[in-house]
Amino acid sequence: MTIIRTFIALASIREWPIWQMDVKNAFLNCELQVYMYQPPGFVSEDTSFKYTLDLVSNAHLNEANVVDTPMEVNVKLYAQAGDPLLKPPMYRKLVGSLIYFIVTRPDIAYDVHVVSQFVSNPRRLHLSAVNRILRYVRGTSIRGLFFDSTSSLDLSAYADADWASDPDTCRFTTGYCVFLGSSLISWKSKKHDIVSK
């Protein structure tokens, strides 16, 4: 996805036209000449919005109040805190959907990273954190990545670490983001395997 976002940012700056097509694997080894036009009267819709509504609906949060932040400030989630969930597959499905969602929503990447650590044994508190992320996403459903056509081609990167913030293992989490001009093209949040002293 980083390569795709880089290409989109570059195409935006250079004002190149972009065409997207989906080719199934069966056609990889044959001569392919397929042309398809949008049917008359068809209006394209923003599918990221259509995806947000489905995700919120699956969690039964259509009527829930929206929140301003994806996670409460200074909240630590512990692996064994609270009662176990009676239906863990639902938690796993929601977290998996959010992982897919962060391809275009870097603002929830860290929070999804946190809740994804508990998919093997989720608790009610963990589900509450997932529901808060979904309530935030519902209130910010029109947000996405912006690729500025007047941007420069300067590459810049930023990184940070939180030093032993995990309450269960004392491992630290690092994160980074990379910009091509003013366009965000890559980001990551990762908990390390070692304890730093």
Cα 164 to Cα 70, 131, 188, 194: the distances in Å are 21, 26, 18, 10
Radius of gyration in angstroms for the set of CA atoms belonging to the chain, rounded to a whole number: 20
At 150, the amino acid letter reads T
157 vs 175: CA distance, rounded Å: 11
Find all residues with CB under 8 Å of 17, minimum gap 6, and list them. 11
- pLDDT value for 104: 86
Distance (Å) of CA 170 to CA 3, 63, 76: 34, 37, 12
**Amino acid 185: pLDDT:** 94
Q: Are 183 and 151 in contact (CB under 8 A)?
A: yes
Please tell me the predicted confidence (pLDDT) of residue 172.
Answer: 80
Return per-residue pLDDT of the chain as tens, 197 residues. Answer: 899 999 999 999 999 988 877 666 655 566 656 555 666 776 666 555 678 888 888 888 888 899 999 998 888 888 888 888 888 999 999 999 999 888 888 999 889 988 998 999 999 999 999 999 999 999 988 888 899 999 899 999 999 888 777 777 777 888 899 999 999 999 988 887 777 66
Sheet strand arrangement including 173-180? 155-161, 173-180, 183-191
Q: What is the Cα–Cα distance from 114 to 127, expressed in whole angstroms?
A: 12
Please name every residue paired with 84 in a beta bridge, in sequence order, or none if there are none: 123
Token pair listed for 186: 């890559």
- Residues with Cβ within 8 Å of residue 35, at least 6 apart in sequence: none
